Chain A
Amino acid sequence: MKYIILIYLILFTVVSATPKEKQLVSSKVAMQLLESIKKDAIVLGSGEIEVHAFIDPLCKMSQRYLSLIYKRNHEIFSHYTIYLYMHEIKAKKSKQHILTIMDATSPERMIHNIMIDKDMSALVSRHSVNSRELFEDIAKVAKTIGVNKRPYIMIGGKVK
Chain B
Amino acid sequence: MSHFKNKLYQYFIFIIKFRIVIIGFFTILFLYLALTMTTMLTHNDEALWLQGSTEHTKLLENNHQAVYIEKLQLHLGEKAFSSKNIDKMKLLHSNLNTIKDVIKINSPLTHTVISFSDDKVGSSLVEAHTLQDSTLAEISNTLTSGFKDFTQFYSTDKETLYIYVFSSSPVDFSSIYIPFKYDSIKVTQDQNIFKDMTLFSILLSTLFILFCITFRTLIPSLLGVVFIVFTTLFTISVYKFIQPDVPLHVSILLVSIAVSIMDFIYIYNGWHTAQASHSSHRSLYYIMMKTIKPIFWTSVVTVVGIGALTVEQSIILQSIGYNIVLSSLIAFILTFTLLIAMLSFFKIKKPYIMTKNSSRFVAGLEARYKKSLLQVFLIVTGLISIATVSFVLMQPSSIIEDSNDEVIHIMLPSDGLTHASLLKLENFHDDITSQFEDDIVDIVSSYKYARGFTKAYNPSMEFEVSKINLSFIAFDFILYNIQDDLMLNSNQLVTIYIEEDGIDKNVILQWIREWNQDKTTLIDDAKSLLSAAKYDSISHMIYVVFFILFLLTFIIFHITKNKMFAFIALTVNAIPLVWFIAILLLLDISLSIEILVSMLIMIALSSDASIHFLCYFHRNSKDKLSNEEIIEHSFIEVGTPIGMGSTILLLTFLLLIFANIPTISTIGVYAVILIILSLLADLFILPVLFIELIKSKSKVL
Q: In the complex the two chains form, is A160's CB within 8 Å of B124's CB?
A: no
Given contacts A19-B460, A68-B480, A72-B478, contact A155 B125 (CB under 8 A): no
Q: In the complex the two chains form, is A156's CB within 8 Å of B471's CB?
A: yes
Q: In the complex the two chains form, is A72's CB within 8 Å of B122's CB?
A: no
**Is A76 located at the chain interface by the 8 A CB criterion?**
yes
Nearest-neighbour CB distance to chain A for B686, whole angstroms, equals 73
**Is B395 located at the chain interface by the 8 A CB criterion?**
no
Flag A46-69 by CB within 8 Å of B: 1 or 0 each. 000101000010011110110011
Task: Please report the C-alpha to C-alpha distance between residue A8 and residue B457 in the assembled complex, in whole angstroms.
Answer: 31
**Is B119 located at the chain interface by the 8 A CB criterion?**
yes
Q: A51 — which chain B residues lie within 8 A by C-beta?
A: 475
Q: In the complex the two chains form, is B123's CB within 8 Å of A56's CB?
A: yes
Given contacts A155-B472, A156-B471, A158-B469, contact A60 B479 (CB under 8 A): no
Q: In the complex the two chains form, is B122's CB within 8 Å of A76's CB?
A: no
**Is B121 located at the chain interface by the 8 A CB criterion?**
yes
Instruction: Specify which of B119, B125, B457, B460 lies most central, judged by the most chain A CB atoms within 10 Å of its CB.
Output: B125
Q: In the complex the two chains form, is B125's CB within 8 Å of A76's CB?
A: no
**Is B98 located at the chain interface by the 8 A CB criterion?**
no
A49: nearest chain-B partner, CB-CB: B471
Nearest-neighbour CB distance to chain A for B467, whole angstroms, equals 12
Q: B124 — which chain A residues lie within 8 A by C-beta?
A: 61, 149
Nearest-neighbour CB distance to chain A for B199, whole angstroms, equals 52
**Is A116 located at the chain interface by the 8 A CB criterion?**
no
User: Which one of A80, A148, A155 contacts B122 once the chains associate, using CB atoms below 8 Å?
Assistant: A148
Flag A69-105 by CB within 8 Å of B: 1 or 0 each. 1001001100110000000011110000000000000
Task: Please report the C-alpha to C-alpha distance between residue A69 and residue B457 in the assembled complex, in whole angstroms.
Answer: 19
Q: In the complex the two chains form, is B478's CB within 8 Å of A150's CB?
A: no
Q: Which of B587-607 contact A (CB under 8 A)?
A: none
Q: In the complex the two chains form, is B478's CB within 8 Å of A62's CB?
A: no
Given contacts A19-B460, A160-B457, contact A92 B471 (CB under 8 A): no
- Label chain A's interface by main secondary structure: mixed
Q: B479 — which chain A residues lie within 8 A by C-beta?
A: 68-69, 72, 76
Task: Please report the C-alpha to C-alpha distance between residue A49 and residue B478 in the assembled complex, in whole angstroms.
Answer: 13
**Is B127 located at the chain interface by the 8 A CB criterion?**
yes
Task: Please report the C-alpha to C-alpha distance between residue A64 and residue B127 in the assembled complex, in whole angstroms.
Answer: 10
Task: Please report the C-alpha to C-alpha distance between residue A84 and residue B612 in the assembled complex, in whole angstroms.
Answer: 90
Q: In the complex the two chains form, is B117's CB within 8 Å of A61's CB?
A: yes
- Label chain B's interface by main secondary structure: mixed
**Is B481 located at the chain interface by the 8 A CB criterion?**
yes
Q: Using a Cβ–Cβ cut-off of 8 Å, how many residues does chain B contribute to the interface with A? A: 19
**Is B131 located at the chain interface by the 8 A CB criterion?**
no
Q: A151 — which chain B residues lie within 8 A by C-beta?
A: 125
Task: Please report the C-alpha to C-alpha distance between residue A158 and residue B469 in the assembled complex, in whole angstroms.
Answer: 9
Q: A90 — which chain B residues lie within 8 A by C-beta?
A: 122
Q: In the complex the two chains form, is B472's CB within 8 Å of A59's CB?
A: no
Task: Please report the C-alpha to C-alpha distance between residue A80 and residue B283 in the assembled complex, in whole angstroms.
Answer: 91
Task: Please report the C-alpha to C-alpha distance between residue A153 and residue B471 in the assembled complex, in whole angstroms.
Answer: 12
Task: Please report the C-alpha to C-alpha distance between residue A135 and residue B196 in the assembled complex, in whole angstroms.
Answer: 80
User: Which one of A19, A75, A149, A153 contacts B123 once the chains associate, using CB atoms below 8 Å?
Assistant: A149
**Is B126 located at the chain interface by the 8 A CB criterion?**
yes
Task: Please report the C-alpha to C-alpha distance between residue A59 and residue B471 in the assembled complex, in whole angstroms.
Answer: 25
Q: In the complex the two chains form, is B480's CB within 8 Å of A59's CB?
A: no
Task: Please report the C-alpha to C-alpha distance between residue A80 and residue B477 in the assembled complex, in whole angstroms.
Answer: 13
Q: In the complex the two chains form, is A76's CB within 8 Å of B469's CB?
A: no
Interface residues on A, range: 20 to 34
Nearest-neighbour CB distance to chain B for A145, whole angstroms, equals 15
Nearest-neighbour CB distance to chain A for B487, whole angstroms, equals 13
Q: In the complex the two chains form, is A65's CB within 8 Å of B125's CB?
A: yes
Nearest-neighbour CB distance to chain A for B427, whole angstroms, equals 26
Instruction: Specify which of B117, B122, B126 lies most central, judged by the most chain A CB atoms within 10 Å of its CB.
Output: B122
Q: Which of B447-501 contact A (CB under 8 A)?
A: 457, 460, 469, 471-472, 475, 478-481
Task: Please report the C-alpha to C-alpha distance between residue A51 and residue B479 in the assembled complex, in whole angstroms.
Answer: 12
Q: In the complex the two chains form, is A160's CB within 8 Å of B472's CB?
A: yes
Q: Which of B626-685 contact A (CB under 8 A)?
A: none
Q: In the complex the two chains form, is A59's CB within 8 Å of B475's CB?
A: no
Q: Which of A5-36 contact B (CB under 8 A)?
A: 19
Nearest-neighbour CB distance to chain A for B468, whole angstroms, equals 12
Task: Please report the C-alpha to C-alpha distance between residue A80 and residue B126 in the assembled complex, in whole angstroms.
Answer: 19
Q: In the complex the two chains form, is A79's CB within 8 Å of B478's CB?
A: yes
Q: B127 — which chain A residues lie within 8 A by C-beta?
A: 64-65, 68
Task: Please report the C-alpha to C-alpha distance between residue A160 and residue B114 in the assembled complex, in whole angstroms.
Answer: 15
Nearest-neighbour CB distance to chain A for B247, whole angstroms, equals 42
Nearest-neighbour CB distance to chain B for A19, whole angstroms, equals 6
Flag A117-160 by CB within 8 Å of B: 1 or 0 each. 00000000000000000000000000000001111010110101
Q: A69 — which chain B residues lie within 8 A by C-beta?
A: 479
Q: A150 — which chain B residues lie within 8 A by C-beta?
A: 122-123
Nearest-neighbour CB distance to chain A for B216, whole angstroms, equals 80
Q: In the complex the two chains form, is B123's CB within 8 Å of A59's CB?
A: yes
User: Which one of B123, B478, B481 contacts A89 once the chains associate, using CB atoms below 8 Å?
Assistant: B123
Task: Please report the C-alpha to C-alpha distance between residue A150 and residue B478 in the assembled complex, in whole angstroms.
Answer: 20
Nearest-neighbour CB distance to chain B for A150, whole angstroms, equals 5
Nearest-neighbour CB distance to chain B for A114, whole angstroms, equals 16
Task: Please report the C-alpha to C-alpha distance between residue A158 and residue B119 in the assembled complex, in whole angstroms.
Answer: 23
Q: In the complex the two chains form, is B478's CB within 8 Å of A75's CB?
A: yes
Given contacts A72-B478, A72-B479, A160-B469, contact A60 B457 (CB under 8 A): no
Q: In the complex the two chains form, is A160's CB within 8 Å of B126's CB?
A: yes
Q: In the complex the two chains form, is B121's CB within 8 Å of A89's CB?
A: yes
Flag B110-124 by CB within 8 Å of A: 1 or 0 each. 000000010101111
B125: nearest chain-A partner, CB-CB: A61
Q: B119 — which chain A residues lie within 8 A by C-beta?
A: 60-61
Task: Please report the C-alpha to C-alpha distance between residue A62 and residue B469 in the assembled complex, in whole angstroms.
Answer: 21
Q: In the complex the two chains form, is B122's CB within 8 Å of A149's CB?
A: yes
Nearest-neighbour CB distance to chain B for A65, whole angstroms, equals 6
Given contacts A61-B117, A80-B475, A155-B471, contact A91 B481 (CB under 8 A): no
Given contacts A61-B117, A64-B127, contact A89 B475 (CB under 8 A): no
Task: Please report the C-alpha to C-alpha distance between residue A75 and residue B477 in the assembled complex, in whole angstroms.
Answer: 11
Nearest-neighbour CB distance to chain A for B119, whole angstroms, equals 7
B453: nearest chain-A partner, CB-CB: A160
**20 more A-B residue pairs beyond the given contacts A90-B122, A160-B472, with a C-beta to C-beta distance below 8 A:** A49-B475, A51-B475, A56-B122, A61-B117, A61-B119, A61-B125, A68-B127, A68-B480, A72-B478, A72-B481, A76-B479, A91-B121, A149-B122, A149-B123, A149-B124, A150-B123, A155-B471, A155-B475, A158-B471, A160-B126
8 contacts between A and B (CB under 8 A): A59-B122, A64-B125, A79-B478, A149-B123, A151-B125, A158-B469, A158-B471, A160-B126
Pick the 4 closest A-B CB pairs, nearest first.
Answer: A61-B125, A89-B122, A61-B123, A155-B471
